[in-house]
Chain A
Amino acid sequence: MRCDFADSLLQGYFDGELSAPSAAEFERHLQHCVHCPVELVDLDLLRERLQLAQLYEAAPASLRKKIHADLRPTAPTTAMSQPLLWHWLAAAAVLLLLAIAGWRVSPVLRTDDYQAELAEEIVDAHVHSLQPGHLTGISSSDEQAVKGWFKGRLTFALPARDFANDGFALEGGRLDVVEGRSVAVLVYARPGHLISVFIWPTRERDTSPRIGSRQGYQWIDWRKGKIEFCAVSEAPTSDLLQLQWLFTK
């Protein structure tokens, strides 16, 4: 048994999509209708079930690979390295000043779709990399060797640096796929933990670090000189912040 209001306003009210006057009208109706409150509860239960069932199906890796191949049919060249390096150096200088002026962290979990999706994918890639035999494309603590391995595989100059003296030993690097494109990953070792730093070129402005966590993994993301970095690990956020500082100092 449904009343007229159920047909015209109930769904919009439930979804918070009614104008204020319509919502008020429906609320007045709710006070003396025996059907609509029950229907609202049913809707709520159904929505909860739908959400618990996790019906969302993300794109399989094979699709991302195909799109990636479609977008970049030819092998990447290193033609962009030089200008990007200069951007990077210029931005590094600016950031150094900013760092001296007092660098701020925004401990805000980014909530928009893009960032949530990105963090999710990066955490998954990191977890995947922890499986045996997947860890590194090149296993070396030598900056030059790591840079050499990436040469020709990337379209930007990779800031591969070893911070062993500061407690973050470079373990190696690999290529991974995030959002359908190749990204560089540097791996650092901390006592008991590995940290993956995902690095790719961006056109966005520099940002101060943002942090977040997902399923027991911490991530921190920042952009610097047209390069975006996202470090992820089970290690505490303070370790990630320290590594971020080492990269930007």
Chain B
Amino acid sequence: MNDLDAEDRLRFEQLVLPHADAAFNLARWLLRKREDAEEVAQEALLRACRFFRGFHGGDARAWLLQIVRNTCYTWLEKKRPMELSVEFDEELHLQTCPTPETIAIAGDDRERLSRALETLPPRFREILVLRELEGCSYKEIAAITSIPIGTVMSSLSRALRQLYSVLTNSYHKEAVREV
């Protein structure tokens, strides 16, 4: 893979590698497992390096995250296609999403939030991760996910509402248990 010359490699190290955390974080939440995320993030970074000559300035983080995202979806398609077959449909998902026991058992809020996030379909998860954890603007999210900017707003809104409802359901369940 190391077909970059020294200068390009240095540029790559300075422009792209600082976003290795962002790459790993997105992969971790899309794939839900740290080991898988590490493998796929590494693959994505290698891809980024291979195609670095095609990068002509601009937002290096958005560029890298686009590659990470595509690599993650390709990986999911190959290894866990079931996860992608979840319709991008709130109503349907609300009935089928596996909220129950796991979330109620979870003790602290980090655990609770993290499990709730993991029950959302990947497309919701990614938009929440990009906005809430990575702090991307709508414009950046649109660039990374290749969806129109208007759709970013409505998807984000739906994703947050769904997260909220998963969290609220789990609270209700806990309340019932405690009674």
Question: Which residues from chain B contact A181 at a C-beta distance below 8 Å?
Answer: 13, 17
Residues of the B chain whose Cβ atoms lie less than 8 Å from the Cβ of A67: 17, 20, 42, 45-46
Docked Cα-Cα span, A46 to B171, in Å, equals: 14
Interface hits, A65-116 → B, CB 8 Å: 66-67, 70-73, 113-114
Instruction: Tell me the chain A residues, 25-79 only, with Cβ under 8 Å from chain B.
Output: 42-43, 46-47, 49-60, 62-64, 66-67, 70-73
Contact B13 A179 (CB under 8 A): yes
A111-145 CB mask vs B (1 if < 8 Å, else 0) is 00110011000000000000000000000000000
Residues of A within 8 A of B117 (CB): 55
Q: Does B24 lie within 8 Å of A60, measured CB to CB?
A: yes
Give the CA-CA distance A54 to B110 in the complex, in Å: 7
* Distance of A169 Cα from B25 Cα, bound (Å): 40
From A10-18, A146-154, A212-220, A229-237, give the one contacting chain B.
Answer: A10-18
The answer on a CB contact under 8 Å between B24 and A58 is yes
- Is there a chain A Cβ closer than 8 Å to B14's Cβ? yes
Q: Are B18 and A57 neighbours in the complex by a CB distance under 8 Å? A: no
Nearest chain A residue, comparing its CB with the CB of B49 = A71
Contact partner of B25 among A50, A56, A64, A202, CB < 8 A? A56
Q: Which of A43, A58, A62, A202 touches B14 (beta carbons < 8 Å)?
A: A202
B133 smallest CB distance to A (angstroms) = 5
Question: Is residue B109 within 8 Å, beta carbon to beta carbon, of the partner chain?
Answer: yes
Contact A70 to B49, CB < 8 A, known contacts A50-B113, A179-B20: yes
Whether A7 pairs with B157 at a CB distance below 8 angstroms is yes
**Cβ contacts under 8 Å, A47 to chain B:** 132
Q: Is the CB of A59 within 8 A of B41?
A: yes
Q: B38 and A60: CB pair below 8 A? A: yes
A198 nearest CB across to chain B (Å):
15
A162-180 Cβ-contact flags toward B at 8 Å (1 or 0): 0000000000000000011
Q: Is the CB of A42 within 8 A of B13?
A: no
Contact B113 A49 (CB under 8 A): yes
User: Which B-chain residue is minimally distant from A203 (CB atoms)?
Assistant: B10
A7–chain B nearest beta-carbon distance, Å: 7
Please indicate the chain A residues that have their CB under 8 angstroms from the CB of B74 in the complex: none
Q: What is the CA–CA distance of A203 and B137 in the complex, to the nearest angstrom? A: 29
Nearest CB to that of A71 among chain B residues?
B9
A71-B25 CB under 8 A given contacts A17-B138, A43-B160, A180-B20: no
Residue of A7, A59, A201 near B20 (CB, 8 A) is A59
The answer to whether the Cβ of B28 comes within 8 Å of any Cβ in the partner chain is yes
A8 and B153 alpha carbons, distance in the complex (Å): 8
Contacting residues, chain A, for B19 (C-beta < 8 A): 113
Output the residue of A11, A60, A201, A202 with the most chain B CB within 10 A: A11
For the complex, what is the distance from the CA of A189 to the CA of B109, rounded to whole Å?
Answer: 42
Known contacts A46-B160, A60-B24, A63-B20; A55 and B113 CB within 8 A of each other: yes
Contacts of B61 in A (CB 8 A): 113
Tell whether, in the assembled complex, residue B34 and residue A179 are in contact, meaning their CB atoms are under 8 Å apart.
no
Q: Known: A17-B138, A73-B2. Is A180-B13 also a contact (CB below 8 A)?
A: yes
Instruction: List 12 extra interface pairs beyond A46-B164, A59-B23, CB under 8 A.
Output: A49-B113, A51-B132, A56-B25, A57-B24, A59-B20, A59-B25, A63-B38, A66-B42, A70-B1, A70-B2, A114-B18, A201-B10
CB-based closest 9 A-B pairs:
A59-B24, A11-B157, A53-B110, A58-B21, A59-B20, A53-B113, A12-B153, A17-B138, A56-B133
- Cross-chain pairs A/B with CB under 8 angstroms, 23 sampled: A7-B157, A8-B154, A11-B157, A11-B160, A12-B138, A15-B156, A42-B164, A46-B160, A52-B109, A55-B133, A57-B28, A59-B20, A67-B17, A71-B49, A72-B2, A72-B9, A179-B13, A179-B17, A179-B18, A180-B17, A201-B10, A203-B11, A203-B14
